[in-house]
């Protein structure tokens, strides 16, 4: 069910709706998404299996204060990764592991904010077993609450607990994700379903690991998951963009290919030449959208800066005889893709680009 | 695919495995569940549709401190409820909404800790559209991080943030959930797959709403969801046991029936006679397991106390000409069911009890 190319500009009615939305943005209650807004699939989905499990985790001792007032000192598990999966009937293709970005969860890849099919289901319908994770320290993967309870009990100073970053609708999402140049004002050609921006807002989940960690337990968990799957493609987004590089340095055995969708960084200058030689063994596809030079209205690099970092990374990998495809979809004539391209109106067209690349690079 | 009744005692080998596990409980790293431990279904699952969405949510203004350091003051959404769903092909039965208990997530109803089919998929295979939620303030439903960041920035005292309760393995789970009389020691007839207790530990997610709230946003969200579904059964567990009572008092229109699996309380003395008259309009099934009088080794009521509270509640509803079935499975000869009966070895046998009751009480 590959779709024909979508038109690359959006209907005027959507832009008008977005402007009407913009005029009310910031006041009143969220537009409640009705169940009826969801557009059902045209054909049944036949699954060989589905379910969920955890990867990794370590048992640790915690005091009564740390686990909360229910009981005495006890043992808990931390750093486990929640994984939900669907395996299609007659799966003929390599498994794909999907990892979301900052202050989001695995919901990123499911039903879009405006009720269309997400990449989770679409990749399954295209024959791939798909494994969607919640990053460790977030959503269903849980987190170690100990430091928060120690702060609450005044055992340690307040600044020992991590700051909990949360996407704001106007700057964290709208301008940063390049829906438009100003909060509530879309780019005329935006592919993001801006009339459903309030639904994206509902997906925001703070990252409870904090951001100061030296090593990230997600790196090893992804490497382990790929091994358990006996080979998988790691498809990552934004914050998780560079994770597979670290996973591959830990153990690349299970990692058949890497797809980086608008990585927050490619860490072009971080790795040693030996590490680059290791990374050059795995084919990579790095994908950006449109309007990369837009002002995000936030501190930190622009998306153009991030693209250029990935370009520098590609040059190092190329020099080590590796195989990196780096693409801004706007350069192919497909205009208006946002940072959240798995939710964009043409999300299945973008998926088809990725599926074709996987077909080419990974043997069945 | 209704199953024959399971034997009511468990194989000796499992008890031995549990005792071996018990001897190592509390040391070392968690037993990593391998993907291969999951037992695949015997026949394909055919879905008309599946996906996820949110119910409710309100847009609120937050300061830069409250949303974290990424940007300026901004707007976020709070109190939205994540819902994942599957609708079987040729659904012929009433939708069922499943709500998990304290410091857990919707994972409760999916693949069991030892890799068997959970109630989410089983109810779908039995013809029901099923909607599994994450309670507001937890997992994929997210939470309002504002107070944590204000504490971290020393804008408010540390004790203004809620204590984050977390299930401990030995007392929060093993003794409290009645796997056995002492941590690591199972009841000889326990139905819980104690060899996989470390996997249950990985499901623990603190409740970030805190426990001191006067009204709980989950109550209205469940009432709204039942309305959107044009009629649904609310199936709740443990902490969420009493939620449907409040949902029905808010608006019972969509609530066709209530199934309370080991409710933490039935709030027998809380409601007015008028409220009881309202509640008496909805059929209810309240289900407990075995070993109710066991010492949980925690403060608070025993499970026998909780059963007796539900008995008093049933008496009030009966007096108002309502229809409540109250059952301890042990009284029917099925022994060893724990608090987590959706994960017990005979979980599908227990599901069949519930499915038969729904068939009897709710018109198709």
A282-329: pLDDT as tens digits: 999 999 999 999 999 998 999 999 999 999 999 999 999 999 999 999
* Three-state secondary structure call for residue A262: coil
Measured in degrees and rounded to the nearest 5, phi and psi for residue B288 equal -120, 165
Q: For B84-152, where are the alpha helices, taking DSSP H only?
A: 119-125, 146-152
B residues 308..337 contacting A (CB < 8 A) = none
The pLDDT score that the predictor gives to residue A197 is 97
B residues 75..94 contacting A (CB < 8 A) = 75-77, 80, 82, 84, 89
Q: Can you tell me the distance from the alpha carbon of B159 to that of B345, in angstroms, rounded to the nearest whole number?
A: 42
A242 inside domain: yes
From A26, A107, A148, residue closest to B148, measured CB to CB: A148
Q: For chain B, where are the alpha helices, taking DSSP H only?
A: 12-24, 64-67, 119-125, 146-152, 197-201, 217-228, 243-250, 273-279, 303-319, 347-361
Chain A: nearest CA to B334, how far in angstroms?
27
User: What ipTM was assigned to the predicted interfaces of this complex?
Assistant: 0.91
For residue B246 the two structure tokens come to 């409040």
For residue A163 the two structure tokens come to 């700051």
Q: Can you tell me the distance from the alpha carbon of B10 to that of A174, in angstroms, rounded to the nearest whole number?
A: 56
Question: What tens digit of pLDDT does each residue of A101-124 get?
Answer: 999 999 999 999 999 999 999 999
User: Looking at beta carbons, which residues of chain B come within 8 Å of A121?
Assistant: 50-51
Tell me if B143 sits within 8 A of B82, measured CB to CB. no
A residues 109..148 contacting B (CB < 8 A) = 110-111, 115, 117-118, 121, 134, 139-140, 142-143, 145, 148
Residue with tokens 């190592």: B24
Query: Residue A86's closest CA among B131, B106, B89, B41?
Result: B41
The pLDDT score that the predictor gives to residue A33 is 55
User: Looking at beta carbons, which residues of chain B come within 8 Å of A70?
Assistant: 165, 167-168, 171-172, 176, 298-299
**Secondary structure (DSSP) of A28-40:** S---PPPGGGS--
CB contact under 8 A, A30 and B134: no
B44 inside domain: no
A300 inside domain: yes
Residue B204: closest CA among chain A residues belongs to which residue? Answer: A142
A68 inside domain: no
Instruction: Name which of B158, B193, B347 to mutate to probe chain A: the one with the most chain A Cβ atoms within 10 A of its Cβ.
Output: B158
Chain B: nearest CA to A84, how far in angstroms?
9
Does the CB of B70 have a partner CB in chain A at under 8 Å?
yes
Does the CB of A212 have a partner CB in chain B at under 8 Å?
no
The pLDDT score that the predictor gives to residue A217 is 94
Residues in chain A predicted with pLDDT less than 70, given as ranges, are 1-34, 210-213, 364
Q: What is the CATH number of the domain that holds A182?
A: 3.40.50.1820
B70 inside domain: no
The pLDDT score that the predictor gives to residue A364 is 61
If you count them, how many residues does chain B have?
Answer: 364
Does the CB of B217 have a partner CB in chain A at under 8 Å?
no
Tell me if B202 sits within 8 A of A217, measured CB to CB. no
A318 inside domain: yes
Q: Tell me the pairing of strands B324-328 and B284-288.
A: parallel
The pLDDT score that the predictor gives to residue B33 is 55
Does the CB of B165 have a partner CB in chain A at under 8 Å?
yes
Instruction: Name which of B130, B152, B170 to mutate to probe chain A: the one with the most chain A Cβ atoms within 10 A of its Cβ.
Output: B152
A residues 266..295 contacting B (CB < 8 A) = none
What are all long-range contacts of A154-162, with beta carbons under 8 Å and residues at least 24 apart?
Answer: A154/B158, A154/B159, A155/A65, A158/B151, A158/B152, A158/B153, A158/B154, A158/B158, A159/B152, A159/B154, A161/B148, A161/B151, A161/B152, A162/A208, A162/A209, A162/A210, A162/A211, A162/A212, A162/B152
The pLDDT score that the predictor gives to residue A38 is 82
A287 inside domain: yes
Burial class of B324 by CB neighbour count within 10 A (0 to 12, 13 to 18, 19+)? buried
CB contact under 8 A, B107 and A229: no
Tell me if B206 sits within 8 A of A68, measured CB to CB. yes
The pLDDT score that the predictor gives to residue A25 is 36
The beta strands (E) that lie in A19-64 are given as 45-62
Q: Can you tell me the distance from the alpha carbon of A22 to that of A184, in angstroms, rounded to the nearest whole number?
A: 4
Does the CB of A67 have a partner CB in chain B at under 8 Å?
yes
Q: Can you tell me the distance from the alpha carbon of B233 to that of B97, in angstroms, rounded to the nearest whole number?
A: 6
Residue A26: closest CA among chain B residues belongs to which residue? Answer: B75
Residues in chain B predicted with pLDDT less than 50, given as ranges, are 1-32
Q: Can you tell me the distance from the alpha carbon of B163 to that of B161, in angstroms, rounded to the nearest whole number?
A: 7
B52 inside domain: no
Bridge partners of A53, per DSSP, are: A83
Domain total for chain A? 1
**Secondary structure (DSSP) of B68-81:** -TTSSSEEEEEEEE
SS3 of A183-213: CCECCCCCCCCHHHHHHHHCCCCCCCCCCCC
Does the CB of B47 have a partner CB in chain A at under 8 Å?
yes
CB contact under 8 A, B224 and A169: no
Q: Which domain holds residue A261?
A: 52-59+79-149+167-361
Bridge partners of A286, per DSSP, are: A260, A326
């Amino acid at each position: 069910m590959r779709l024909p190319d979508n038109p690359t500009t959006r209907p005027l009615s959507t832009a008008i709706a977005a402007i009407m939305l913009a005029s009310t943005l910031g006041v009143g209650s969220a537009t409640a998404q009705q169940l009826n807004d969801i557009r059902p699939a045209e054909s049944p989905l036949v699954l060989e299996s589905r379910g969920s499990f955890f990867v990794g985790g370590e048992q640790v001792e915690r005091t009564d204060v740390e686990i909360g007032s229910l009981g005495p000192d006890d043992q808990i598990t931390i750093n486990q990764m929640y994984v939900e999966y669907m395996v299609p009937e007659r799966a003929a293709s390599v498994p794909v592991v999907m990892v979301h970005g900052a202050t989001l969860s695995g919901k990123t890849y499911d039903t879009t904010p405006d009720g269309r099919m997400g990449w989770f289901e679409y990749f399954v319908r295209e024959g791939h077993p798909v494994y969607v994770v919640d990053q460790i320290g977030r959503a269903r993967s849980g987190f170690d609450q100990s430091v928060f309870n120690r702060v609450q009990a005044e055992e340690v100073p307040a600044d020992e607990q991590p700051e909990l970053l949360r996407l704001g609708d106007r700057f964290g999402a709208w301008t940063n994700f390049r829906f438009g140049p100003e909060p509530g004002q879309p780019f005329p050609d935006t592919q993001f379903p801006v009339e459903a921006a309030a639904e994206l807002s509902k997906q925001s989940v703070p990252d409870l690991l904090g951001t100061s960690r030296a090593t990230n337990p997600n790196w090893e968990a992804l490497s382990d998951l790929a091994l358990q799957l006996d080979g998988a493609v790691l498809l990552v987004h934004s914050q998780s963009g560079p994770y597979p590089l670290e996973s591959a340095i830990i153990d690349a055995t299970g990692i058949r290919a890497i797809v980086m969708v608008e990585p927050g960084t490619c860490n072009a200058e971080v790795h040693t030449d030996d590490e680059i030689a290791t990374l050059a063994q795995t084919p990579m596809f790095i994908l950006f959208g449109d309007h990369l030079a837009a002002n995000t209205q936030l501190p930190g690099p622009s998306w153009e800066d991030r693209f250029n970092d990935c370009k520098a990374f590609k040059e190092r990998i190329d020099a080590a005889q590796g195989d990196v495809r780096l693409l801004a979809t706007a350069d192919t004539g497909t205009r208006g893709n946002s940072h959240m391209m798995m939710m964009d109106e043409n999300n299945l067209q973008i998926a088809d680009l990725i599926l074709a690349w996987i077909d080419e690079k990974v043997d069945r």
